[in-house]
Amino acid sequence: MGKEYERIDGRLRTFIEAQHIFFTATAPLSGDGTINLSPKGLTGSFAVLDELTVAYLDFAGSNAETVAHLRENGRITLMWCAFDGPPNIVRVHGRGEPVFRDDPRWTDLVAHFPGIDTTQHGLRAIIVVHADLIRDTCGYAVPFMTYDADRDLHAKRFAREDDESLSRYFEGKDHVGVSLDGLPGLPLPLPPTPIPVADRS
Protein backbone atom coordinates (compact mmCIF):
# COMPACT_ATOMS: atom_id res chain seq x y z
CA MET A 1 0.00 0.00 0.00
CA GLY A 2 1.26 3.46 -0.85
CA LYS A 3 1.70 6.16 1.74
CA GLU A 4 1.84 9.93 1.59
CA TYR A 5 4.40 11.92 3.59
CA GLU A 6 4.29 15.47 4.88
CA ARG A 7 8.02 15.99 4.61
CA ILE A 8 11.31 14.50 3.44
CA ASP A 9 13.01 13.32 6.60
CA GLY A 10 13.94 10.23 8.59
CA ARG A 11 13.97 6.93 6.75
CA LEU A 12 12.47 8.51 3.64
CA ARG A 13 15.36 10.95 3.33
CA THR A 14 17.88 8.21 4.08
CA PHE A 15 16.40 6.07 1.30
CA ILE A 16 16.44 8.88 -1.26
CA GLU A 17 20.01 9.91 -0.48
CA ALA A 18 21.25 6.31 -0.70
CA GLN A 19 20.11 5.76 -4.29
CA HIS A 20 22.63 5.96 -7.11
CA ILE A 21 20.10 6.97 -9.76
CA PHE A 22 16.78 8.77 -9.94
CA PHE A 23 14.47 9.85 -12.74
CA THR A 24 12.85 13.17 -13.65
CA ALA A 25 9.66 13.62 -15.65
CA THR A 26 8.40 16.89 -17.16
CA ALA A 27 6.09 17.95 -19.96
CA PRO A 28 5.09 21.12 -21.82
CA LEU A 29 1.61 22.57 -21.45
CA SER A 30 0.74 21.72 -25.05
CA GLY A 31 -1.38 18.57 -25.31
CA ASP A 32 0.71 17.28 -28.20
CA GLY A 33 4.05 18.34 -26.72
CA THR A 34 6.93 15.98 -26.03
CA ILE A 35 6.96 14.41 -22.57
CA ASN A 36 10.48 14.08 -21.19
CA LEU A 37 11.90 11.41 -18.87
CA SER A 38 15.55 11.58 -17.83
CA PRO A 39 17.84 9.45 -15.65
CA LYS A 40 20.04 11.36 -13.22
CA GLY A 41 23.12 9.99 -11.52
CA LEU A 42 26.67 10.94 -10.52
CA THR A 43 27.35 10.54 -6.83
CA GLY A 44 27.01 13.80 -4.93
CA SER A 45 24.89 15.62 -7.53
CA PHE A 46 21.65 15.47 -5.50
CA ALA A 47 20.88 17.23 -2.21
CA VAL A 48 17.98 17.63 0.21
CA LEU A 49 17.87 21.35 1.01
CA ASP A 50 15.11 21.16 3.61
CA GLU A 51 12.09 19.00 4.44
CA LEU A 52 10.18 20.11 1.34
CA THR A 53 12.93 21.16 -1.06
CA VAL A 54 15.48 19.17 -3.03
CA ALA A 55 17.97 20.11 -5.72
CA TYR A 56 20.21 18.46 -8.27
CA LEU A 57 22.99 19.58 -10.58
CA ASP A 58 22.13 19.89 -14.26
CA PHE A 59 25.20 19.04 -16.30
CA ALA A 60 26.20 19.46 -19.93
CA GLY A 61 24.24 17.41 -22.45
CA SER A 62 22.86 17.51 -25.96
CA ASN A 63 19.39 18.78 -25.01
CA ALA A 64 17.66 20.74 -22.26
CA GLU A 65 14.07 19.49 -22.17
CA THR A 66 13.76 19.59 -18.38
CA VAL A 67 15.02 23.17 -18.25
CA ALA A 68 12.62 24.22 -21.03
CA HIS A 69 9.58 22.62 -19.42
CA LEU A 70 10.36 24.09 -16.01
CA ARG A 71 10.80 27.54 -17.50
CA GLU A 72 7.38 27.21 -19.13
CA ASN A 73 5.28 25.64 -16.36
CA GLY A 74 7.38 24.37 -13.44
CA ARG A 75 5.79 20.91 -13.18
CA ILE A 76 8.13 18.04 -12.34
CA THR A 77 8.12 14.58 -10.77
CA LEU A 78 11.20 12.90 -9.34
CA MET A 79 11.30 9.13 -8.79
CA TRP A 80 13.64 6.80 -6.91
CA CYS A 81 13.49 2.98 -7.04
CA ALA A 82 15.01 0.46 -4.64
CA PHE A 83 17.23 -1.83 -6.71
CA ASP A 84 18.48 -3.58 -3.58
CA GLY A 85 17.07 -4.13 -0.09
CA PRO A 86 13.32 -3.90 0.61
CA PRO A 87 11.18 -2.96 -2.43
CA ASN A 88 10.22 0.69 -2.61
CA ILE A 89 9.42 3.48 -5.06
CA VAL A 90 9.36 7.11 -3.91
CA ARG A 91 7.96 9.98 -5.94
CA VAL A 92 8.17 13.69 -5.27
CA HIS A 93 5.63 15.67 -7.28
CA GLY A 94 6.28 19.37 -7.22
CA ARG A 95 7.28 22.64 -8.78
CA GLY A 96 10.77 23.12 -10.05
CA GLU A 97 12.92 25.90 -11.43
CA PRO A 98 16.31 26.02 -13.09
CA VAL A 99 18.74 28.32 -11.31
CA PHE A 100 21.39 29.63 -13.70
CA ARG A 101 24.91 30.89 -13.06
CA ASP A 102 23.94 34.54 -12.97
CA ASP A 103 21.30 33.98 -10.28
CA PRO A 104 22.28 35.47 -6.89
CA ARG A 105 21.36 32.14 -5.24
CA TRP A 106 23.93 30.21 -7.28
CA THR A 107 26.87 30.29 -4.86
CA ASP A 108 24.80 29.27 -1.84
CA LEU A 109 23.17 26.43 -3.76
CA VAL A 110 26.44 25.03 -5.11
CA ALA A 111 27.68 24.78 -1.52
CA HIS A 112 25.12 21.99 -0.93
CA PHE A 113 27.14 19.68 -3.22
CA PRO A 114 30.57 19.44 -1.57
CA GLY A 115 31.18 15.86 -2.70
CA ILE A 116 31.40 16.56 -6.42
CA ASP A 117 33.82 18.60 -8.50
CA THR A 118 31.39 20.79 -10.42
CA THR A 119 34.16 22.00 -12.76
CA GLN A 120 34.45 18.53 -14.32
CA HIS A 121 31.00 18.15 -15.83
CA GLY A 122 30.02 21.41 -17.51
CA LEU A 123 27.59 22.50 -14.82
CA ARG A 124 24.97 24.68 -16.50
CA ALA A 125 22.10 24.93 -13.98
CA ILE A 126 20.88 23.79 -10.58
CA ILE A 127 17.36 22.39 -10.56
CA VAL A 128 15.48 23.26 -7.35
CA VAL A 129 12.26 21.35 -6.65
CA HIS A 130 9.65 22.29 -4.03
CA ALA A 131 7.53 19.27 -3.10
CA ASP A 132 3.73 19.44 -3.33
CA LEU A 133 3.11 15.71 -2.87
CA ILE A 134 5.48 13.08 -1.47
CA ARG A 135 4.49 9.42 -1.70
CA ASP A 136 5.78 5.90 -1.97
CA THR A 137 4.52 2.69 -3.57
CA CYS A 138 5.47 -0.96 -3.19
CA GLY A 139 8.01 -1.48 -5.95
CA TYR A 140 7.43 -5.24 -5.99
CA ALA A 141 8.12 -5.48 -9.73
CA VAL A 142 11.39 -3.52 -9.65
CA PRO A 143 14.29 -5.96 -10.25
CA PHE A 144 17.33 -6.42 -8.06
CA MET A 145 20.28 -4.67 -9.66
CA THR A 146 23.79 -3.99 -8.39
CA TYR A 147 25.71 -0.72 -8.50
CA ASP A 148 29.33 -1.01 -9.64
CA ALA A 149 30.53 2.56 -10.11
CA ASP A 150 29.75 5.89 -11.74
CA ARG A 151 30.87 6.13 -15.34
CA ASP A 152 33.82 8.49 -15.84
CA LEU A 153 33.01 9.33 -19.46
CA HIS A 154 31.04 12.49 -18.72
CA ALA A 155 33.85 14.05 -16.70
CA LYS A 156 36.44 13.05 -19.28
CA ARG A 157 34.38 14.65 -22.05
CA PHE A 158 33.55 17.97 -20.37
CA ALA A 159 36.48 18.60 -18.02
CA ARG A 160 38.44 20.05 -20.95
CA GLU A 161 35.82 22.73 -21.63
CA ASP A 162 35.92 26.28 -20.28
CA ASP A 163 32.92 28.61 -20.11
CA GLU A 164 33.45 29.95 -23.62
CA SER A 165 33.96 26.60 -25.34
CA LEU A 166 31.09 25.03 -23.43
CA SER A 167 28.80 27.83 -24.56
CA ARG A 168 29.86 27.22 -28.17
CA TYR A 169 29.15 23.50 -27.71
CA PHE A 170 25.61 24.25 -26.53
CA GLU A 171 25.04 26.78 -29.31
CA GLY A 172 25.94 24.05 -31.82
CA LYS A 173 23.23 21.72 -30.53
CA ASP A 174 19.71 21.90 -31.95
CA HIS A 175 17.85 21.33 -28.68
CA VAL A 176 19.76 23.07 -25.90
CA GLY A 177 18.77 26.71 -26.45
CA VAL A 178 15.37 25.58 -27.75
CA SER A 179 13.43 22.45 -26.77
CA LEU A 180 12.10 19.78 -29.13
CA ASP A 181 8.80 21.67 -29.17
CA GLY A 182 10.34 25.12 -29.68
CA LEU A 183 10.27 26.30 -26.05
CA PRO A 184 13.10 28.44 -24.65
CA GLY A 185 15.70 26.13 -23.13
CA LEU A 186 19.10 26.99 -21.72
CA PRO A 187 19.84 30.74 -21.97
CA LEU A 188 22.76 31.23 -24.32
CA PRO A 189 25.47 32.35 -24.31
CA LEU A 190 26.15 30.90 -20.89
CA PRO A 191 26.86 33.35 -18.09
CA PRO A 192 30.40 32.88 -16.71
CA THR A 193 30.92 30.61 -13.74
CA PRO A 194 30.86 32.73 -10.56
CA ILE A 195 34.18 33.03 -8.76
CA PRO A 196 33.95 31.62 -5.21
CA VAL A 197 34.25 34.33 -2.56
CA ALA A 198 37.35 32.67 -1.09
CA ASP A 199 39.14 32.91 -4.46
CA ARG A 200 38.47 36.60 -5.07
CA SER A 201 41.36 38.96 -4.55
Rounded distance between C-alpha atoms, residue 92 and residue 77, angstroms: 6
Residue 143 makes CB contacts below 8 A (sequence gap 6+) with 83
| Of the candidates 99, 190, 60, 86, the residue with the CA atom closest to the CA atom of residue 144 | 86
For each of the domains in the chain, give its residue range(s) and CATH number, in order of start. Answer: 3-192 (2.30.110.10)
Burial 178-193 (b: 16+ CB within 10 A, else e): bbbbebebbbbebeeb
Model confidence, pTM? 0.95
pLDDT tens, residue by residue, 56-84: 999 999 999 999 999 999 999 999 999 99
**CA distance to 5, 28, 65, 137, 168, per residue, from 128 (Å):** 19, 18, 15, 24, 26
pLDDT tens, residue by residue, 128-180: 999 999 999 999 999 999 999 999 999 999 999 999 999 999 999 999 999 99
Q: Hey, which residues does 90 pair with through a beta bridge?
A: 80, 136
Q: Which bin fits 150, alpha (ψ -120 to 50), beta or left (φ > 0)?
A: beta
